[in-house]
């Protein structure tokens, strides 16, 4: 499966990498593993209520909000858990 980040998600990942390179690396690796089908059981992924297309991936203290369409993982939000559900 291909991975595509929105401009906002790219910016959020760069911001995380500036302050915490270890977490940014872990986020990247877990997203890649999930997209490759390797990490389906090792990553906490659930569907969000209210919108059947959006899913949430929990990686440490960070949350990744994404959709899967046409064999593509479209990541829209990468935020700390305290800020992830404000939108």
Specify the number of domains making up the chain: 1
Mind spelling out the 3-state secondary structure of 34-64? Answer: HHHCCCCCCCEEEECCCCCCEEEEEECCEEE
- The answer to whether residue 85 sits within a structural domain is no
Please report, for the domain that includes residue 74, its CATH number. 3.30.2310.20
pLDDT at residue 81 tops 80: yes
| Model pTM score | 0.85
20 band by pLDDT with thresholds 50, 70 and 90: confident
What are the pLDDT digits (tens) for 3-15? 999 999 999 999 9
- The answer to whether residue 87 sits within a structural domain is no
Structural domain including 28 reads 2-80
Contact criterion met (CB below 8 Å) for 1 and 32: no
Contact criterion met (CB below 8 Å) for 47 and 55: yes
- The answer to whether residue 86 sits within a structural domain is no
What are the pLDDT digits (tens) for 32-66? 988 888 766 777 888 888 877 899 999 988 999 99
């Amino acid at each position: 499966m291909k991975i595509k980040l929105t401009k906002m998600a790219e910016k959020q990942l760069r911001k995380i990498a500036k302050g915490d390179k270890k977490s940014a690396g872990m986020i990247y690796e877990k997203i890649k593993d999930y997209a490759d089908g390797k990490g389906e059981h090792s990553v906490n992924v659930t569907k969000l209520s209210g919108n059947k297309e959006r899913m949430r991936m929990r990686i440490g203290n960070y949350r990744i909000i994404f959709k899967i369409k046409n064999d593509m993982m479209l990541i829209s939000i990468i935020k700390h858990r305290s800020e992830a559900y404000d939108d």
